[in-house]
Amino acid sequence: MLEAALTALTMIADPFRLGVLAAGVVLGLVIGILPGIGGLAGTALLLPFTFSMDPYTAFAFLLGLGAVTATGDPIPAILFGVPGGAGSAATVLDGLPLARRGEAGRALSAAYSASLFGGLFGALMLAVSIPVFRPMMRFVQSPELLAFTVFGLSMVAVMAGKSPLRGLVAACIGLMLSMFGADPKTGTMRWTFDTLYLFEGLPLLPVVLGLFAVPELCDLAITRESISTKTKYNVRRGMVLGFADTVRNWWLVIRCGSIGGVLAAIPGIGGAIIDWIAYAHARATCRGAAETFGKGDIRGVIASESANNAKEGGALIPTIAFGVPGTATMALLLSAFLVHGLQPGPDMLGPNLSFTYGMIWSVAIANILGAGLCYAFSGQFAKLATLRYTLILPTVLSIIFIGAFEGSRSWGDVYTMLIFGVIGWTMKQLQWARPPLLLGFVLGDMFERYLFISIDRYGMDWMMRPLVIALFALAFFAFARAFWQDYRAHGGIRAIKAGLGKPNWEWSQLYSVLVLGAVAILLILASPWDFQAGLVPRITGGIALSLGALSLAGHIFYRPVGAGSAKMYYELVAQSGHLSGTTILLRAGVFFGWLLSFLVSMATAGIFVTIPLFVATYMRLEGKERWPLVIANALCLTLFVYFVFDRILHIPWPHTLLRDLLPQARVIPGV
């Protein structure tokens, strides 16, 4: 093994291969910084260019791109509250508050160094675990995968924060949303509303952007301030502090890196929930986290980012050892194996062992190069947090519209982002935790699929398997612990009884009523389905209705005696508390009006007419910006979108009304 590792290092150290690896790293960072694009699009685009390369060079390029996409993800998450990808959504919770305090440099530095150490840990884990994991993974069947899914869902109890019942309701709604589309077992169309777009279910990307990106941009438009009002801060000192924070929390990096690597090695888990599970683990184990997480605790950034980068090494384990891709990106990588005549499995640990270590070296070197490049430009990145909102909003909104369209490249993606943007902003304002909804949405499809496979293959004996029992016990402990802590925080049964009194209705409770009404309507629509297609949706909906009604009754009839629950709220605190409710609603309405105008213009005249028009109009009407600055910003953004998304990524733009009315307009890009 040592000889194979040294041979692989010699091959990767070739100057040409290092140059190709560096080119992949640069492209991966750019893709990571662009909100919503993600490494899958970049890998799909650049895969054909590797067919003429030798295997070492080809995989150095592809792994260089994929390994550092997560390193670029936290940049928009920290600076704007817009996750660069689904795997960096948890970074927003503490990264954005740090940027608001003028500590963007520190947060970025901690994210880079945590990504670096997490990525190296993932590569090390890949190096030592393939010979060990290969025989062990043979015992992981559908019951164990189902148990892992249930254990992941148990993190909802931790993420629910101050209101466990609301968190569970949100998770159940996420589970129901994941069941939109064709039932995998019977083919029954569930909650598609006769819409072709929903036949395959809701795509993850526009849902994530709607839940986590749009609400933060809306709050920025409401407050009408820059992200950080502190314009004087030492970026270089922040870089040193962030790195020192990561080194000081080295044990947290190892723990969360282990979580990222292990969970990513389980096919189907994906990267959208790994950072949330790591974040929940950090919150449950770090001293004083209940009072500081979500308010700008650097440990929250370190936890999510170390897990986020470690997952790349973990996801390679089943791909190399079994030919089973853990993620969509790994599925593309598997196709590259076949193109280059490589067979995943025993050969990768025998005749091709040096190539396996070549992949490990590529991941490790890519993480070092990626972190170095990010550190080199962090001073410029951190200053973006001090820009006026009229300079930030139109640019970021234009990019996330394109990012949302990447979900399945249809108009439905844009509508989904807008709908979930309204839902996400309302949840944030009314203190409904959004992470449980996302966790339920991501894990719901896997839960249902593995449940039916386990029952079909093993009957009820699947529940007696040792690993299943252990994971179910851990899940039960997580749920029980969260409710026990909430019970104790309220003072026990006597204090709870003392807090019961006359009903106290508030307008914010109307949202709970609407949520319960929506769940009831979905259950009514599910009544004609056959038993197998409707079993899990009906159970999930019934639980959501029961817990939702109990939560609503508690908010109406119960008032905590004394301090009440001291548990943290797993959400960003809205920065609009100093404004009146009328002002908040009015400005939010204006913001979503701008989004609708962008959508209408995009549907009428195309993206390359909409972007300069939207940027110029927004900057002039909202901020009275000077015309030279307006023209320069609109022109630069339009050219950037044209060259990156049209010329390089070759995105097929949505159909427009102008194209139908004027067929000759088809020669214009984006129309």
Report the amino acid identity of residue 499: G
Sign of CA dihedral 167, 168, 170, 174: positive
Q: What b/e string do you get for 552-568 counting C-beta neighbours within 10 Å, with b at 16 or more?
A: bebbeebeeeeeebebb
The answer to whether the CB of 417 falls within 8 A of the CB of 424 is: no
The answer to whether the CB of 83 falls within 8 A of the CB of 92 is: yes
Q: What is the pLDDT of residue 564?
A: 46
Distances from the Cα of 606 to the Cαs of 309, 418, 656, in angstroms? 36, 18, 6
H-assigned helices in 558-626? 581-605, 607-623
**Looking at the predicted structure, is the pLDDT value of residue 568 above 50?**
no
**Least confident among 47-56, 165-174, 511-520, 604-613:** 47-56
Mean pLDDT computed over every residue of the chain: 80
What is the C-alpha separation between 407 and 572, in angstroms, rounded? 25
The predicted-structure confidence for 534-548, as pLDDT tens digits, reads as follows: 888 999 999 999 988
The reported pTM is: 0.77
**Looking at the predicted structure, is the pLDDT value of residue 292 above 80?**
yes
**Looking at the predicted structure, is the pLDDT value of residue 94 above 80?**
yes
Q: What is the pLDDT of residue 474?
A: 85
The predicted-structure confidence for 393-433, as pLDDT tens digits, reads as follows: 888 888 888 878 876 778 888 999 999 999 999 988 887 88
Radius of gyration (C-alpha) of the chain in whole angstroms: 25
**Looking at the predicted structure, is the pLDDT value of residue 387 above 80?**
no
Task: Assign 268 a pLDDT band (cuts: 50, 70, 90).
Answer: low
**Least confident among 268-282, 319-333, 388-402, 601-615:** 319-333
What is the C-alpha separation between 167 and 551, in angstroms, rounded? 10
The predicted-structure confidence for 295-331, as pLDDT tens digits, reads as follows: 888 999 999 888 887 877 777 777 777 666 656 677 6
Work out the angle at residue 110's Cα, subtended by the Cα atoms of residues 62 and 298, and round it to the nearest 5 degrees.
135
Sign of CA dihedral 162, 167, 169, 170: positive
What is the C-alpha separation between 268 and 449, in angstroms, rounded? 11
Q: What is the pLDDT of residue 494?
A: 74
- Select, from the ranges 19-33, 125-139, 244-258, 563-577, the one with the highest average predicted confidence (pLDDT): 244-258
**Looking at the predicted structure, is the pLDDT value of residue 39 above 70?**
no
What is the C-alpha separation between 164 and 186, in angstroms, rounded? 34
**Least confident among 263-267, 346-350, 664-668:** 664-668
Of 514, 541, 513, nearest in space to 529 by CA? 541
Which of helix, strand or coil describes residue 190? Answer: strand
The predicted-structure confidence for 488-532, as pLDDT tens digits, reads as follows: 766 667 776 776 777 777 777 888 899 999 999 999 999 999 888
End-to-end CA distance of the chain: 56
**Least confident among 139-143, 218-222, 354-358:** 139-143
> For residue 654, what is the DSSP state?
P
* Token pair listed for 358: 């070549």
Secondary structure element (H or E) that encloses residue 449, with its range: helix 435-458
Torsion angle, CA of 665/667/670/671, rounded to 10 degrees? 20
How many residues in total does the chain contain?
Answer: 671
Task: Assign 567 a pLDDT band (cuts: 50, 70, 90).
Answer: very low
Q: What is the pLDDT of residue 69?
A: 75
